Amino acid sequence: MNKYAVFGNPIAHSKSPDIHRAFAIQTGEALTYEKQWVAEDGFEAAAKVFFAEGGCGLNITVPFKLDAFSFADALTERAQTAGAVNTLKRESDGSILGDNTDGQGMVSDIIDNHGWTISGKRVLILGAGGAVRGVLQPLLAQQPESVVIANRTVSKAEALAKSFSQYGAVKGCSFDALQSQIFDVIINGTSASLSGDLPPLPEQLLAANACCYDMMYGAEPTVFLVWADKQGAQQCADGLGMLVGQAAESFLLWRGVKPDTSPVISTLRAQL
């Protein structure tokens, strides 16, 4: 039986086993998928044991995405640009390939599941941390008119924008600098939603028919999505589909078949 797992710390809350088992049933792929708690300093040793014992692939969650980046023998372009790895695959020669499926998972959710358009749109991303870095290249590949990264620490937003400038029109700024700017798509990549906080956003940010997306998700709409609704956003979505979407991209890398995310998202939504 082909063996897969997710490594993290903490890991008890992970929905990855449920998602991948659902994918396996849907596609008829024979595999096992478990979650494994790993000590803070124990990633490399645990990964070596997993692959030495015949493991085929790993998903990586907090706090090990940089460890996985270092562990991989080779990296996909999207992993290189993200500077982090959330998927490892053992190749036929025994070497380990590192990939980052987060960005493509989000883009697929936005376009395929919600029917929004990114191409030619003015996109605002809130935050400049690892989550945002992970999605920028796939987002810019959709050829938006422009991408603005707003962050409390402006230098961080500007540095991030500069490092992705080869992929499209992207710039960094402060939240204050958003005054009088208008956007078609706003993506919240900050973790503020988890603590019930909202970035300091000015009024009148949303264009007519604007769509707002939060990478976080929960049983209730996040603080950001409540704000977006009050601001008149035409459509709002949380990141549950991104979670399932990045898993589908991992599954595709491992098994060569891409599962349908919609029924899995519906099942998970009902369980929240």
The CA distance from 260 to 201, in Å, is 35
DSSP state of 129: S
The CA distance from 170 to 163, in Å, is 10
Does 3 qualify as catalytic in the annotation?
no
Residue ranges with strand state E in the chain: 2-8, 31-37, 55-60, 74-75, 87-90, 96-99, 122-126, 146-150, 170-173, 183-188, 206-214, 235-237
| Rounded to 5°, angle at Cα 64 from 66 and 73 | 55
Element (H, E) at 159: helix 154-163
Question: Cα 12 vs. chain centroid, distance in angstroms?
Answer: 20
DSSP state of 202: P
* Residue in 65, 121, 162, 258 annotated catalytic: 65
Sheet containing 235-237, strands listed edge to edge, beginning at the edge strand earlier in sequence: 170-173, 146-150, 122-126, 183-188, 206-214, 235-237
Can you say whether residue 120 is alpha, beta or left, with left for phi > 0 and alpha for psi between -120 and 50 degrees? Answer: left
Active site residues: 65
